[in-house]
A and B are shown apart, each in its own frame.
Chain A
Amino acid sequence: MSYKKTGRFDKRKADELRPIKMEVGVLPNCTGSARVKAGKTTAIAGVYGPKEVRPKHLQLNDKLLIRCYYDLISFSVTDRARPRPSRRSRELGLVIKNALEKSIFVEDYPKSMLEVFVEITEADAGSRCAAITAASLAVADAGIQMRDFVPAVAAGKIDDLICLDLTKEEEDVHDGGGATDIPVAYIPSIDEVTLLQLDGKISSKELIEAIKLGIKGCKKIHEMMGKTFKENYKIKAVKE
Chain B
Amino acid sequence: MMEIKVKDKSIVTPGELIAANVKFSDADEEYRIKMNNGIYKKGSNVYASVVGIFKENGLKVIQLSGSYIPRQGDYIIGKVIDMSFSNWFVDIRGPYEAGLRISEASTKYLDTDKYDMSHYFDFGEYIFAKITDITDSKKISLSCKESGLGKLEGGIITRIDPSKFPRLLGTNDSMIDMIEKLSNTKIEAGHNGLVWIKGPAEGVKKAKEAVKLINKESHLTGLTEKVEKLLQGGKK
Instruction: Using CB atoms and an 8 Å cutoff, list the residues of chain A in contact with chain B.
Output: 25, 31-32, 49-52, 61, 103, 105, 108-113, 140-149, 187-190, 222, 225-226, 229-230, 233-234, 236-237, 240
A229 CB contacts on chain B under 8 angstroms? 11, 13, 51
Q: Cα distance A229–B52 when bound, in Å? A: 9
Q: Report the Cα distance A189→B138, complex, angstroms.
A: 30
B-side binding surface: helix, strand, loop or mixed? loop
Residues of chain B lying within 8 A (CB to CB) of residue A49: 67, 95
Is the Cβ of B63 less than 8 Å from the Cβ of A148?
A: no
Contacting residues, chain B, for A113 (C-beta < 8 A) = 95
- CA separation between A31 and B11, bound complex, in Å? 20
Determine the chain B residues whose CB is within 8 A of the CB of A188 once the complex forms. Answer: 15
A140 lies within 8 A of B13 (CB) = yes
Q: How many Å from the CB of B170 to the closest CB on chain A?
A: 19
Contacts of B65 in A (CB 8 A): 25, 32, 141-143
B97 within 8 A of A: yes
Chain A proximity mask over B80-109: 1 for CB below 8 Å, otherwise 0: 000000000000001111000000000000
Stretch at the interface among B32-40, B115-123, B146-154, B172-180: B32-40
Question: From residue B63, how far is it (CB to closest CB) to chain A in Å?
Answer: 5
Contact between A110 and B66, CB atoms less than 8 A apart: no
A103 to chain B, nearest CB (A): 8
Contact B35 A145 (CB under 8 A): yes
Is B35 a contact of A140 with CB atoms below 8 Å? Answer: no
Is the Cβ of B40 less than 8 Å from the Cβ of A105? yes
**B51 contacts A109, CB within 8 Å?**
no
- Do the beta carbons of B138 and A108 come within 8 Å of each other? no
**Ranked 8 nearest A-B pairs via Cβ:** A143-B66, A148-B15, A112-B95, A189-B15, A50-B95, A226-B13, A145-B49, A146-B14
Instruction: Report the Cα distance A123→B219, complex, angstroms.
Output: 36
Q: Is the CB of B49 within 8 A of A111?
A: no
Taking CB atoms, residues of chain A closer than 8 Å to B183 are none
- Given the known A-B contacts A50-B69, A108-B35, A142-B67, are A147 and B220 also in contact in the complex, defined by CB atoms under 8 Å? no
14 pairs across A/B with beta carbons < 8 Å?
A31-B66, A49-B67, A50-B67, A105-B49, A110-B137, A111-B95, A111-B137, A145-B38, A145-B49, A147-B15, A190-B42, A233-B64, A236-B219, A237-B220
Provide the bound-state CA to CA distance between A90 and B42, in Å.
34
A240 CA / B95 CA spacing, docked (Å):
34
- Give bound CA distance, A39 to B16, whole Å: 27
Note all chain B residues with C-beta closer than 8 A to A145. Answer: 35, 38, 40, 49-50
The answer to whether B138 and A110 touch across the interface, beta carbons within 8 angstroms, is: yes
Residues in A with CB closer than 8 Å to B222 are: 240
